[in-house]
């Protein structure tokens, strides 16, 4: 049985990876650890760097995820700075920035980097589209869940339980990862 370590503490990411990779014969474990995040203009580069560092540090194949929220009406902001904006401006700050904007389209770009020790990482991407609501709503989740309405829905992710919420996320990155691992 092959093993891959997901460097994350996010249970939804771990469950997504397990549901897709375990049927292929992979054991998915996880470790929550701080990894260096480079200053880059693209979440892809951040994921690649962190995955390579973690694979070499742990001496095992790893998955590392980096996700950004991109708001069209703000020219893609916060993008790669999503975590920083969450910590500093928060959801209310983002809503203030968007006050009066007609274009509220947004998407999450999720990059999953797979890396083996002493090798170059391979990155897979998924996009989850939606809009940013004008106000916060819901009781489940955290942060952007209270303002992000996925395409095809009329309420924020925060209105869906943990078991329902993760199902709105694109699984494209995991599907591409699966193809890569099957052909490796």
pLDDT tens-digit readout, 81-113: 998 999 999 999 999 999 999 999 999 999 999
pTM: 0.88
pLDDT tens per residue across span 132-160 = 999 999 999 889 999 999 999 999 999 99
pLDDT at 174: 85
Radius of gyration of the CA atoms of the chain, in A: 17
Rounded Cα gap, residues 112 and 63, in angstroms = 6
Closest residue by Cα to residue 11 from 175, 172, 169: 169
Q: Which residues lie below 8 Å from residue 184, measured CB to CB, with a gap of 6+?
A: none
Neighbour-count burial of 135, counting CB atoms closer than 10 A to its CB (0-12 exposed, 13-18 middle, 19+ buried): exposed
Annotation says 172 is catalytic: no
User: Facing residues of 132 across strands?
Assistant: 148
> Considering 29, 41, 42, 66, which one is annotated as catalytic?
66
CATH number for the domain harbouring residue 159: 3.90.950.10
CB atoms within 10 A of CB 80: 24
Number of domains forming the structure of the chain: 1
Backbone φ/ψ region at 100: left (φ over 0), alpha (ψ -120 to 50), beta: left
Q: What range does the domain containing 44 cover?
A: 2-182
Does 12 score more than 80 pLDDT?
no
At 167, the pLDDT band (50, 70, 90 cuts) reads confident
Paired tokens of 16? 């997504």
* Statement: residue 166 has pLDDT above 80: no
């Amino acid at each position: 049985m092959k093993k891959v370590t997901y460097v994350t503490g996010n249970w939804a990411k771990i469950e997504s990876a397990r549901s897709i990779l375990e049927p292929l014969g992979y054991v998915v474990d996880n470790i929550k650890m701080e990894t260096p995040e480079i200053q880059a203009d693209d979440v892809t580069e951040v994921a690649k760097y962190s995955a390579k560092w973690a694979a070499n540090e742990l001496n095992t194949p790893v998955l590392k995820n980096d996700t950004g929220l991109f708001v069209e009406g703000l020219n893609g902001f916060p993008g790669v700075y999503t975590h920083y904006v969450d910590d500093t401006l928060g959801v209310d700050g983002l809503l203030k920035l968007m006050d009066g904007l007609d274009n509220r389209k947004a998407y999450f770009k999720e990059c999953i980097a797979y890396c083996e020790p002493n090798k170059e990482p391979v990155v897979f991407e998924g996009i989850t589209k939606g809009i940013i609501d004008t106000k916060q709503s819901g009781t489940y989740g955290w942060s952007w869940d209270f303002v992000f309405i996925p395409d095809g829905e009329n309420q924020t992710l925060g209105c869906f339980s943990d078991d329902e919420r993760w199902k709105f996320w694109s699984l494209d990155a995991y599907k591409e990862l699966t193809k890569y691992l099957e052909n490796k």
